[in-house]
Amino acid sequence: MVRRRYRGRVMREDSPRPQSLMLTFLGDQVLGRDVCVYSGSVIDVFARAGIGEQATRSTLTRMVGRGLLRRQREGRRMYFGLTDRSEAVLRDGERRIWHTGAVNRQWDGTWTLLGFSLPESWQRQRHDLRSRLAWAGFGPLFNGLWIAPGEVDVSSLVAELGLSAHVKVFRAQADAGMDIGAMIEETWELSDLAASYEAFVRHWQPCGERTPDGDDALVLRLRMQTEWLGLIRRDPRLPVGHLPDDWPAERAEKTFRTVYDRLAPPARDAARRLLDLVPVREAQA
């Protein structure tokens, strides 16, 4: 099998959105601990990340409104804790970072095929379905026929959009003569993703060569985790044996883990010093 080489342009975002950073913060400091965090602590940490108090407060308020956070008052202080919805989101991120990973080495040759036919007037529904399929790792094989590696359960996705009657899902394997590498190149736009992996390595690798102060380590780790999760969530995790020889995901993942381990001890010390946490009580309005 001929494996193709690839070079892409550098594209990366240096400033994560406040909500993305907030989810990383909650996953790092609150998930699995049955605690709530004081709003002032969040404001303090986010200020060190260059996010102002008003933006942090607005993010907390919006996330409460969306059912991603719950409030808990202790005296004059307001604390924030997870909801079932935010815990599910954070568990998914945890799984992607520490279990699924960025490199698909265990593909068994199975593909999930999803075909749909929607009325011409259903432009919004078509857009929503395509967006959700792309987020789930699918690519457009043909118009109305999308494909993803492995067995992907899309039943809840389709049901949420109310399109169960218009979608058909199959499991399949490619014919022996199929050039899977060529199919991947035609189906997925991988240039930006590869360039982002390369940019991630260039930006974060130097952080694995030195240990910053505690406060800086905490903020750096939050920013790096946020960027990494956003990156691997864009990745359809195509089988590594059919990707270009110089596909940079493995180097990027190694960089992430190395820098994370380097930042972990001072970041933990900073969190213990900066964060005011209280045990979760019964949910309050």
Segment 47-78, tens digit of pLDDT: 999 999 999 999 999 999 999 999 999 999 99
pLDDT category, 13, cuts 50, 70, 90? very low
**Encoded tokens for 54:** 């008003």
The predicted pLDDT at position 285 comes to 43
pLDDT category, 2, cuts 50, 70, 90? very low
Cα radius of gyration (the chain): 21
Q: Is the pLDDT of residue 3 over 80?
A: no
pTM, 2 dp: 0.86
Sorted by where each begins, the domain ranges of the chain are 110-173, 188-273
Segment 115-172, tens digit of pLDDT: 999 999 999 999 999 999 998 899 999 999 999 999 999 999 999 999 999 999 999 9
Q: Is the pLDDT of residue 8 over 50?
A: no
Average pLDDT over all residues of the chain: 91
CATH match for 110-173 among 3.40.1360, 3.30.1910, 3.30.70, 3.90.1280 = 3.30.70
Task: Please state, in angstroms and rounded to a whole number, the distance separating the CA atoms of residues 246 and 134.
Answer: 24
Q: Is the pLDDT of residue 209 over 90?
A: no
CB count within 10 Å of CB 127 equals 10
Q: Is the pLDDT of residue 14 over 60?
A: no
**Encoded tokens for 61:** 């308020």
- Averaged pLDDT, 11-27: 80
The predicted pLDDT at position 71 comes to 97
